[in-house]
């Protein structure tokens, strides 16, 4: 399956300032598959080392992490000649061998002509940085996410539709009505399946949503196991699992601001903030803050006590909520309380995959709110999200009066359009929104 990371990796390979690359992200987002496919296409051979399946590897790095010492031994272990510029060296599950992570510093300094990619699922929580030196400044870094809507459409064989969506977005011209409806149906499929490559592959093979749900529930169980494996305190494990398990409930509220009391009656920030940080570091959730002022840099005006939390994948969100595919396809009345939060979660995923770090705005009395604020071409652009085609809203109007944005974007089930300085973007086309728009 095509992943956008391939484009980044090709540029990395040819960059004269290339450093060893660390690719991180949640489990099962496709890191290993993408790296190996890139290696097969772009190098003479791939020297692959997995620290989970080959525990003895760690002892090699315990002895010495000088490249001149390691290369001959690694060549022998993998049964291949490792050649500068022609071999891709892959360290997988590198969080299990912190000395291997440290070795990247010396590859950068002493052997920069070797091409190395290290991948890890829990680098943010598994590495003891007090004991081991993280190669700060000596590595390139990239975070992978589940497949976005564009990658999902391409996987389903809808490359022509993707091209038309881009064209309509660039020209701000409406999609043909029949294709607009087709794209909306595919969008709802994405909500139910999500972007985990295994779930998408199972859908392509079987079209069976029961099997897809089994895949997603298995991934959820793996995440819960990681919470136990990479936290020492049973109390912290419990808090992290409780927090993770209530995200869909948080998003079911009309006000999707994160509320500690939803986790547990009487809960306070001090009790659960470590759990939230762990989940963010593991790549399982993302957090966006409210900004009080619309000024650059937005980071300076965030309210650290007022934020929203979203899951990293739509399929996992629907699995956590226990929604059937049919529930999502037809957006039944029972979903009324959840539709808004679910749609916000979807848009946040697309924006995050595009490299944005979104914020949101709410006025002081809490009566008006704009879902996302992102920088586009140096301008701070508000994005309002609607789950259907009813786009009436006083919040965006109020925001425009207060801050006079260069442009506003409304994401909804409506077709492309432009009116009153508001650009209408269909839900299926959010992946078109980029910082260089």
pLDDT tens-digit readout, 335-383: 777 899 999 999 999 999 999 999 999 998 888 999 999 999 999 999 9
pLDDT tens, residue by residue, 136-169: 899 999 999 999 999 999 999 999 999 999 999 9
Confidence (pLDDT) at 230: 83
**Are 139 and 159 in a shared domain?**
no
**Are 19 and 88 in a shared domain?**
yes
**Are 46 and 154 in a shared domain?**
no
The answer to whether residue 413 sits within a structural domain is yes
Confidence (pLDDT) at 332: 59
Of the residues 111, 143, 175, which one is the last residue of a structural domain? 143
**Are 244 and 159 in a shared domain?**
yes
Contacts of 296 (CB under 8 A, 6+ apart): 375, 380
**Are 244 and 379 in a shared domain?**
yes
How many C-beta atoms lie closer than 10 Å to residue 378's C-beta? 8
**Are 67 and 202 in a shared domain?**
no
- Residue 49 belongs to domain with CATH number: 3.40.50.300
**Are 209 and 356 in a shared domain?**
yes
The answer to whether residue 129 sits within a structural domain is yes
- Across the chain, which has 437 residues, the per-10-residue mean pLDDT values are 95 97 95 97 98 92 96 96 97 93 96 97 70 82 97 98 98 97 97 98 97 97 92 92 95 88 93 95 96 94 96 96 88 73 97 97 92 96 93 89 96 95 97 88
Q: Which residues pair with 425 in a beta bridge?
A: 411
- Secondary structure (3-state) at 157: coil
The answer to whether residue 73 sits within a structural domain is yes
Tell me how long the chain is.
437
Phi-psi region of 355 (alpha: psi -120 to 50; beta: other; left: phi over 0): left
The answer to whether residue 437 sits within a structural domain is no
**Are 260 and 298 in a shared domain?**
yes
The answer to whether residue 405 sits within a structural domain is yes
Q: Residues 103, 60: contact at Cβ < 8 Å?
A: no
- The domain tally of the chain equals 2
- Secondary structure (3-state) at 361: strand
Of the residues 98, 128, 143, which one is the last residue of a structural domain? 143
**Are 193 and 102 in a shared domain?**
no
**Are 133 and 153 in a shared domain?**
no
What strands lie across the sheet with 140-143, from one edge to the other? Answer: 45-50, 87-92, 115-120, 21-24, 140-143
Of the residues 116, 143, 170, which one is the last residue of a structural domain? 143
Confidence (pLDDT) at 202: 97
**Are 322 and 208 in a shared domain?**
yes
**Are 117 and 158 in a shared domain?**
no
Confidence (pLDDT) at 105: 96
Secondary structure element (H or E) that encloses residue 329, with its range: helix 325-330
For residue 100, give its domain range: 5-143
DSSP state of 264: S
């Amino acid at each position: 399956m095509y992943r956008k990371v391939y484009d980044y990796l090709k540029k990395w390979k040819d960059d004269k300032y290339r450093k060893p690359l660390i690719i991180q992200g949640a489990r099962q987002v496709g890191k290993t598959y993408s790296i190996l496919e890139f290696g097969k296409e772009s190098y003479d051979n791939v020297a692959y080392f997995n620290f989970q399946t080959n525990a003895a590897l760690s002892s090699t790095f315990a002895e010495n992490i000088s490249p001149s010492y390691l290369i001959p031994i690694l060549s022998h272990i993998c049964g291949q000649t490792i050649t500068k510029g022609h071999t891709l060296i892959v360290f997988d599950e590198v969080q299990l061998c912190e000395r291997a992570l440290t070795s990247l510093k010396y590859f950068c300094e002493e052997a920069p002509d070797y091409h190395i990619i290290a991948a890890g699922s829990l680098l943010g929580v598994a590495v003891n940085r007090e004991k081991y030196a993280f190669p700060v400044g000596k590595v390139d870094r990239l975070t992978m996410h589940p497949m976005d809507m564009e990658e999902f459409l391409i996987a389903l064989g809808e490359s022509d539709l993707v091209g038309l969506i881009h064209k309509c977005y660039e020209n701000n011209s409406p999609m043909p009505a029949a294709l607009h409806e087709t794209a909306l149906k595919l969008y709802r499929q994405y909500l139910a399946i999500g972007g985990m490559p295994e779930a998408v592959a199972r859908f392509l093979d079987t079209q069976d949503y029961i099997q897809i749900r089994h895949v997603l529930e298995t991934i959820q169980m793996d995440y819960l196991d990681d919470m136990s494996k990479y936290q020492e305190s049973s109390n912290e494990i419990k808090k992290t699992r409780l927090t993770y398990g209530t995200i869909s409930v948080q998003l079911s509220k009309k006000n999707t601001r994160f509320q500690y009391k939803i986790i547990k009656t009487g809960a306070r920030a001090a009790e659960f903030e470590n759990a939230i940080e762990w989940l963010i570091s593991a790549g399982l959730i993302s957090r966006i803050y409210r900004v009080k002022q619309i000024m650059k840099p937005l980071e300076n005006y965030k309210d650290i006590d007022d934020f929203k939390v979203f899951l990293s994948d739509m399929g996992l969100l629907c699995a956590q909520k226990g929604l059937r595919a049919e529930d999502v396809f037809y957006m039944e009345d029972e979903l009324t309380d959840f539709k808004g939060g679910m749609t916000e979660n979807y848009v946040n995923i697309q924006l995050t995959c595009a490299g944005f770090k979104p914020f949101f705005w709410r006025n002081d009395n809490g009566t008006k709110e704009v879902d996302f604020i992102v920088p586009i071409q140096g301008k701070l652009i508000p994005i309002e999200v609607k789950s259907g085609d009813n786009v009436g809203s006083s919040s965006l109007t109020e925001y425009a009066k207060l801050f006079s944005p260069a442009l506003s974007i409304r994401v909804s089930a409506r077709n492309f359009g432009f009116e009153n300085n508001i650009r209408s973007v269909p839900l299926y086309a959010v992946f078109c929104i980029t910082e260089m728009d």
